Amino acid sequence: MTDNYLPEVFEINYKHEFNGTKSIKLINNTLLVNDPNPELIDIGRVREEKWIEFWENIEKIGIWDLEEEYMGCTLEGGFTWSVKIIYDSRELNSYGANIEPKIVIGDKIFSVLEELYKSIEELIS
């Protein structure tokens, strides 16, 4: 695996009042995943093909097109989230409360955050 595919910064945080907290943070070649228990995953050994597929998936879900802020009404049991990625010449810093970005693929609506988590799972599986 070449370092060309590693992002400079990769942080995802999700906090739900009732369902707890999830987070993913890149530290050197290791992902620190809290879901809810901490786990270290060495991504320095991920094959180049998987990285290419990961970045293609990120492109498809429109991650680079996210707005900076998504704010919904305040609800009891609400949630907050944030995504920060710096990779190549691109930078994303997006966050929200009680609303999340969606993407339409064909005739279906998907959560960008859920699709991002799926892409990460495929990368590290």
pLDDT of residue 124: 87
pLDDT of residue 2: 54
Q: What domains can be seen in the chain, in order of their start residue?
A: 3-124 (3.30.1560)
Residues with Cβ within 8 Å of residue 23, at least 6 apart in sequence: 11, 12, 13, 14, 32, 33, 34, 35
Q: Does 3 have pLDDT greater than 70?
A: no
Task: Over range 9-38, report the average pLDDT.
Answer: 88
Is the overall model pTM greater than 0.95, yes or no?
no
Q: Does 73 have pLDDT greater than 80?
A: no
Q: Does 90 have pLDDT greater than 90?
A: yes
Counting Cα atoms < 13 Å in the Cβ hemisphere of 98 gives 9
